Each structure stands twice: as structure tokens, then as C-alpha cells.
Amino acid sequence: MRTGFSVVTLPRANKSRGPEMANPTQRDAVPYRLAADTFGSEELHAGKAVLDSGRLTMGERVRAFEQEFANWTGSRHAVMVNSGSSANLLMVDAMLRRTEGGAPPWRRGDEILVPALAWPTTVWPLVQLGLVPVFVDVDARTLAIDLSSAESVLSSRTRGMFLIHVLGQMAQMNDILRFCREHGLELLEDSCESLGAHFDGRHAGTFGTMSSFSFYFSHHISSIEGGMVTTADRAIADDLRSLRAHGWVRDRSDRTRWKERFPTFDDRFLFISGGYNVRPMELQAAIASVQLRHSMPCWELANALQAPCRHGSTSPCPGCVSSARNI
Ligand SMILES: Cc1ncc(COP(=O)(O)O)c(C=O)c1O
């Protein structure tokens, strides 16, 4: 199964005028696979098993995949959602609340450093939730936030940094962490383009307070659409679980405590915080789980050029490469 073909028109080489001056009517159409799925029979079987089971909405398979993903990335908690954009939205919202009490790290009006090279839905949640994004130039080598530019825009209202690991490249995390510590900034990571990337042996997304991941069609692993938030903080993970589904307590690790606090309520319908509905489906979790087990090793092997990948190639094969380029 191969979908996602696009046709890219490349300018003909024209030394005298330069390619940018080429007449569009003289362009050659070159078919180039912008994104292709890497689904094999395992994904199809996993998807069919979900449809056959009758349990379609978020349940056991999502919980199992969250655990697999947490183990794989070395995170303590993982909360699956329906996209990387939703993951970013929940992270920012979670920074503005503490359901269990205590002061939230961010308040409306706070300034948050964001890279000038960013995805729209990394920046928009800040605006939508009343924070002020402050754009910072990027480092030409890592394409992540440049710290001297960041230093030049710090103010008394700067409270955080929303870092993006771009196209599989990690930021220099020792410098970033030192900078955040020195200036009292809470760090969020957007690792949507960088599943599998490491810095000093630690996986992208395990450095900040939270990190987002995306399983969109063209990313390293795909659940067609899908995303994840990882965090080391149990209370934050619980707030993310409430935010993900209407603000209810059903999926929280401290559900029993809430039930005891409000004994007259049916705890299936106990809503304790603001919320959205950005839940993933069982189908997405089942497919993503196969992808994590098969496509990521495929990637690692193919990238190292040491062994055939899942598609039988000893070099990054078109199916793998096009999926990872995030085009
Ligand atoms: C850096 C970054 N953040 C967030 C997203 C949004 O992810 P999704 O498409 O799953 O909503 C993308 C999408 O490509 C991205 O590149």
C-alpha cells in the first residue's frame, strides 16, 4: 500500500539565469514521494483486531501504548492524544494550572521564548491561552533556539522556553538547561519532529517539564494522526489526563482520592478541571504500537546502514526516508 504521492516541479538547471529565474513553463515535473506510509500487514492486522473487538474509544490499547512509549523514551509518564498539536495545547494549558494545589508555573501575560523557526501549533497555544510568545533567532547548526539571541530578549516577565528539536536534530541540551536554570525558566520541549533523537544518551523529550510528540502520517512512526505528552511529574500527568477528556477524573492515578472527596458523585461523571476532548482512539494506539516496535528499529538499522530495514533495504529506503522527512 503506497499513498501520499506528490509531484514536485523542479526548475531546469539554467546556468545563465540561475534556477530561481527559470520560466515555470519550462519546468520538468519530477514525481517525488513527499510522504508514504510504512504500514505493513502487522499494522493492518492490529487495526482490524481493534475494529473486530468492538472496543473503539480510548481504553486498554491506549494505556498499553502509553506504557510502551514511556519505557521506550525513558519517560516516567506518557499521555496519548489525537495529534502533536493537541499535545502542545495540553502542555501549555497544564503549565497554567495545578489541580492538586500550589502555584502554577506560568500565569497569563507571562513571556515565553519560542524559536523563530517553529511550527504554528507550537506557538498558537501560547497565544490562545493568554501567554506572550517572544520569538528568538535559531542557531544555524542545531536550528534550535540561539541562546545569545534569547539572552537579548529576556525581561522580568520571561518565565519559560518552548524549545523545538528540528528535523531529528537535538538542541545542545547542556547549554539550554544551564540557561533555563540561570534565568528561572520552565522548559517545554516539542519533539514532534525528533522521535528517536538523543543527547548524551537521553531521549529527546526527557529534559523539560513536558514534551510533545507527533505520530502524524509523515513522521517517524504514524498512527495516521496522533500525539503524546511525556513528563516525569505524576501530578502533571494526571492534569493532562483530565484535560484530555472533558476535565473528568476517570483516567487519573488519584481517581480514588477524588471519589472519596466527593462521595455523593458517580465518579464516572466527576469533572474537576477545565478540559477538551482530544482523546486518541484504540485504533491509533494499536497501529502506533506496531510502528514503535517495527518502524523505529527499521529506522535505526537503516540509518546506521548496518542491516536491511523492514523493507529489505540496506540503505534508508524510500518508504522510510520519505516518512521521516516531515515534509
Ligand atoms: C515541530 C512540530 N510541532 C508540532 C507539530 C504538529 O503535529 P501534528 O501534525 O501531529 O498536529 C508538527 C507537525 O509537523 C511539528 O513539526
For residue 59, report the distance from its CA to the centre of ligand 1, in Å: 24
Residue 214 Cβ < 6 Å to ligand 1:
yes
For residue 214, report the distance from its CA to the centre of ligand 1, in Å: 6
3-state helix, strand, coil in the chain (%, to 5): 40, 20, 45
Round to whole Å and give the CA distance between 310 and 156: 52
Which is nearest to 184 in space by CA: 103, 235, 112?
112
For residue 269, report the distance from its CA to the centre of ligand 1, in Å: 32
Per-residue pLDDT of 8-19, as tens digits, reads 333 433 333 334
Domains of the chain by range and CATH?
1-36 (no CATH), 41-301 (3.40.640.10)
Round to whole Å and give the CA distance between 302 and 134: 39
| Range with lowest mean pLDDT among 2-11, 167-176, 184-193, 275-284 | 2-11
219, 220, 294, 311: the catalytic one is 219
Which is nearest to 90 in space by CA: 226, 275, 217?
275
Per-residue pLDDT of 200-248, as tens digits, reads 999 999 999 999 999 998 888 999 999 999 999 999 999 999 999 999 9
Q: What pLDDT sits at residue 218?
A: 86
Residue 190 Cβ < 6 Å to ligand 1:
yes
Kindly indicate the confidence band of residue 302, based on its pLDDT and cuts at 50, 70 and 90: low
Kindly indicate the confidence band of residue 323, based on its pLDDT and cuts at 50, 70 and 90: very low
For residue 101, report the distance from its CA to the centre of ligand 1, in Å: 31
Round to whole Å and give the CA distance between 32 and 10: 10
Take residue 159 and report the three cell numbers written for it.
Answer: 518565565
Residue with more model confidence, 5 or 279: 279
Residue 222 Cβ < 6 Å to ligand 1:
no
Round to whole Å and give the CA distance between 221 and 324: 8
Q: What pLDDT sits at residue 99?
A: 86
Q: What pLDDT sits at residue 324?
A: 43
Q: What is the position in ligand 1's atom list of the atom closest to the CA of 219?
A: 14
Q: Is the pLDDT of residue 315 over 90?
A: no
Round to whole Å and give the CA distance between 215 and 213: 7
Kindly indicate the confidence band of residue 34, based on its pLDDT and cuts at 50, 70 and 90: low
Residue 85 Cβ < 6 Å to ligand 1:
yes
Residue 122 Cβ < 6 Å to ligand 1:
yes
For residue 4, report the distance from its CA to the centre of ligand 1, in Å: 18
Question: What element of type H or E holds 136?
Answer: strand 132-136
Percent of the chain with pLDDT over 70: 80
Q: What is the position in ligand 1's atom list of the atom closest to the CA of 214?
A: 10
Q: What pLDDT sits at residue 45?
A: 96
Q: Is the pLDDT of residue 74 over 60?
A: yes
Residue 84 Cβ < 6 Å to ligand 1:
yes
Average the pLDDT over 260-285 and give the result. Answer: 97
28 and 50 in contact (C-beta within 8 Å)?
A: no
Average the pLDDT over 187-191 and give the result. Answer: 98
- The CA-atom distances, in angstroms, between 72 and each of 89, 149, 322 are 23, 34, 23
- The CA-atom distances, in angstroms, between 25 and each of 8, 21, 176 are 14, 12, 47
What's the mean pLDDT when you consider all of the chain? 86
In a mutational test of the pocket of ligand 1, which residue from 193, 194, 195 has the highest number of ligand atoms less than 8 Å from its CB? 193
Q: Is the pLDDT of residue 21 over 60?
A: no
Per-residue pLDDT of 89-133, as tens digits, reads 999 999 999 988 889 999 999 999 999 999 999 999 999 999 999
Q: What pLDDT sits at residue 205?
A: 97
Take residue 171 and report the three cell numbers written for it.
Answer: 538542541
Angle formed at CA 55 by CA 52 and CA 59, multiple of 5 degrees: 140
Smallest CA separation from ligand 1 atom 7, residue: 84
Average the pLDDT over 10-39 and give the result. Answer: 53
Q: Is the pLDDT of residue 5 over 70?
A: no
Q: Is position 203 annotated as part of the catalytic site?
A: no
